[in-house]
């Protein structure tokens, strides 16, 4: 009986270890997050008719933080309800960076 309990314990530890490794592999690298943030910034720039350098740097930072947070949320099913709150925070931060006309175009594009 002890033999079966030991085998079961080793097998359970193996499964837990593989799940942990798989969860880490699913996380995006910093470079991938930066690329996604730059792509999102480029799309936003096209929507609002261009961004100056200062705006672009701030928008990249906002999108990088958003992508990083979404990557973490994607790992935990219980965190999924926080996505709308995160997106609302992103909209608020972007509204402070963009001028009034750009912000209006951005909000219209989301509808």
Per residue in 58-102, pLDDT tens?
888 888 888 888 888 777 778 778 888 888 888 888 888 888 888
Residue 33 Cα distances to 19, 60, 111, angstroms: 23, 10, 25
Give residue 14's pLDDT band: very low, low, confident or very high (50, 70, 90).
low
Burial class (CB in 10 A: 0-12, 13-18, 19+), 41: buried
Q: Distance between CA atoms of 16 and 108, rounded to whole angstroms?
A: 46
37-69 pLDDT, tens digit per residue, is: 777 777 777 777 877 888 888 888 888 888 888
Q: Distance between CA atoms of 76 and 55, rounded to whole angstroms?
A: 32
Give residue 19's pLDDT band: very low, low, confident or very high (50, 70, 90).
low
Domain ranges of the chain: 28-110
Residues ≥6 apart with Cβ < 8 Å to 105: 47, 48, 49
């Amino acid at each position: 009986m002890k033999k079966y309990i030991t085998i079961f314990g080793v097998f359970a530890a193996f499964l837990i270890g593989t799940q942990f490794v798989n969860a880490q592999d699913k996380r995006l690298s910093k470079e991938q997050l930066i690329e996604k943030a730059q792509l999102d910034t480029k799309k936003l720039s096209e929507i609002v008719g261009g961004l100056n350098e200062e705006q672009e740097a701030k928008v990249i930072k906002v999108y990088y933080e958003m992508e990083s947070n979404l990557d973490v949320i994607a790992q935990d099913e219980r965190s999924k309800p926080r996505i709308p709150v995160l997106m609302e925070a992103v909209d608020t931060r972007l509204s402070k960076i963009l001028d009034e006309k750009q912000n209006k175009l951005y909000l219209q594009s989301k509808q």
